[in-house]
Amino acid sequence: MIQTTIQRADINMQHRVFNAMIKENIFPEGTRINTFNNQLEVQYKGRILSVAISGEAAFKRFTMIGPLTFQIRDQKESVQTLEQLLKILEEDFEVQIPERLEKELIHSRRGFDLTYTQMDQRRKLIHDSMKFSRMPVSLNYFAWMQHMSTLDEMNDLLYSESLALEGHPTHPLSKTKLPLTNEEVERYAPEFEKVIPLKVMLIKKEDAIATSASLDPDFMLNEMLKDEKQRLKDFVKALNLKLEDYDVVIVHPWQYEHVIIERFKDWIADRRLIPTPVTLPSKATLSFRTMALLNRPYHIKLPVEVQATSAIRTVSAVTTIDGPKLSYELQDMLHLFPQLKIAKEPYGLHANVEADKARQLAYIVREKPFIDGDGVTVVTASLVNPNPIDDHTIVDSYLEWVDNEISKNTIKQFITVYAHTLIPPLIAYIQDYGIALEAHMQNTIVKLGKDYRMAFAVRDLGGSRIDLPSLEDKIPNVVVENQSLIADKIEDVIAKFQHAVIQNQMGELIYHFQQYDCIEEEELFEIIHDITLNAIDPNKPYAQVLKEVLFAPTMKVKSLMRMRMEGKVKKYVNTEVANPLWKGE
């Protein structure tokens, strides 16, 4: 039976919620959880919730199939909707789900429905156009993308940003974007590929704090907006004002309409903040509020007071200062590890007001990630999602493009090269600088070439973790404004790498590949174990503690559902799970 998009969205949400409840130990004391005969069963006081599974993978991840079943004594029924599941959890399993969380979950389901509908339409359009232009309908994604890039009709990286169909792979709130309406989701979310005009405003210099890593303090007017500079000059001249008295501030159109014109109305009335007729065409990247400027080599990270997954996506004032400084300080490693770039952030600005208000009017300019060489560039989150060209998962399309098959050998070769290219430089950053970059799949870009050639770029330093004494040893006089980046101990720095790279990057790729009968996940995690172990330099700092944390019997993972139940965003709540890199005694 063909499911509708809303049915697919609903069952996906049920699976995500059920898996999170089990993984994060949210069920009350006395609950029994069993797996047998390809069934996962949760029992509590004579009530049973169960679902068919095809297996359990690392990090307590179950591959669930079909609807959940609820049973009391001899009465059995299929769970029809997410709302019904939440009601069963509250009434029969004594799990308290706040009303706020219920709304967030329903909003996420709606986001999946809209995304699935959009992807189905996109697939049909592409296949119809292929037939019309007499292109082979079985064209491989990488072959197609190279062809389109050669014609200058497609930006490979930007296109891949729209293909992360599932968003965060396990978060129940993966597609939550409150309080956006359906029409706003379709206008602003990356899956819909819409051109989004960013508003250019002018802010009085004394009302702004700008940080420029560029030699030019007027970087925005002289570089980013050099073609619009005269138009802006003429505009302010007509108001009897001078452009040199103002800095540029870029604003997301949703933020302008719903936040800026109300909260900064006094500034606008006093011409301390001026809306201009200039806009910059852009498209949303995977992170939703980081915008890729069209025909300009920059991305802009912007505040949008919208809850995407768990957090409200504003930009703290301190990150507009740290980004430009740190991204340039860390470039020295490039000559040692040319296969991993860090995207430079040449400029940041925030309004000179109290922190809570400043985070609404701030931005960071990031150089558009560019990786040399032949091949196709993708955001790594897209690798484990299907593409509408050949209907395969993108990483599978890559193996077929490179080696014409998906086999034990090609999977092992891919994982080996991927891990060997990505992991050693990230371990070196911990040992040399005391910093863990948040190189999870949303922040990481890879260029995939023929013969398994790969190179990476990491963007966004806002989620890094830093051992400050180590960084100060390497970069004297370094100042880190954002206290949330500074770790209490080196173990917390290593845990950031473990979560972003071992659990997210490698875990997601291995979870995808272990569906194939030709390979077991243990074989692939053994490759990761050996590459990680070899990446740790025994003669550099933290070699022993790196081994103790990364190869311990258990590891901590974020309790994403529990954090929302408890209303926590910044303060992490963790769950311990078995560590797939542990070798045993």
Sorted by where each begins, the domain ranges of the chain are 1-138, 177-366, 372-551
Helix (H) or strand (E) holding 526: helix 521-535
Angle at 263 between CA 257 and CA 267, to 5 degrees: 105
What pLDDT, on the 0 to 100 scale, is given for residue 151?
77
Q: Is the dihedral of CA 210, 215, 221, 224 positive or negative?
A: negative
pLDDT at position 260 is 98
How far is the CA of 562 from the CAs of 116, 408, 568, in angstroms?
27, 37, 8
Q: Is residue 176 classed as helix, strand or coil in its secondary structure?
A: coil
Question: 150 or 367: which carries more pLDDT confidence?
Answer: 367
Question: Which residue, 250, 328, 324, 323, is CA-closest to 293?
Answer: 250
- Is residue 431 within 8 Å of 542, Cβ to Cβ? yes
What DSSP character marks residue 174?
Answer: T
Strand partners, 36: 39
- 223-251 per-residue burial string, b: 16 or more CB within 10 A, e: under 16: bbbeebbeebeebbeeeeeebeebbbbbb
- For residue 215, is pLDDT > 90? no
What was the pLDDT predicted at 570? 53
Q: What is the DSSP letter of 343?
A: -
Query: Which pTM value belongs to this model?
Result: 0.95
> Looking at 37-138, which runs of residues are DSSP E strands?
39-44, 47-57, 61-72, 75-78
In 3D, which of 259, 204, 212, 202 has the Cα closest to residue 234?
202
Asked if 376 and 387 touch (Cβ cutoff 8 Å), the reply is: no
pLDDT of residue 1: 60
| Residue type at position 455 | A
Residue 7 has pLDDT above 90, yes or no: yes
Average pLDDT over residues 313-325: 91
- Cβ pair 170, 16 in contact under 8 A: yes
pLDDT exceeds cutoff 80 at 395: yes
Q: Quick check: 130 pLDDT over 80?
A: no
Please tell me if the domain spanning 1-138 has the same topology as the one spanning 372-551: no
Mean pLDDT of the chain: 93
Instruction: Say if domain 372-551 classifies as CATH 1.10.510.40.
Output: yes
Q: How confident is the model at residue 503 (pLDDT cuts 50, 70, 90)?
A: very high
CATH number of 1-138: 3.30.70, 3.40.1350, 3.30.310, 3.40.50? Answer: 3.30.310
- pLDDT grade for 566, boundaries at 50, 70 and 90: confident
- Residue of 117, 134, 118, 144 lying closest to 389 (CA atoms): 144
pLDDT at 339: 93
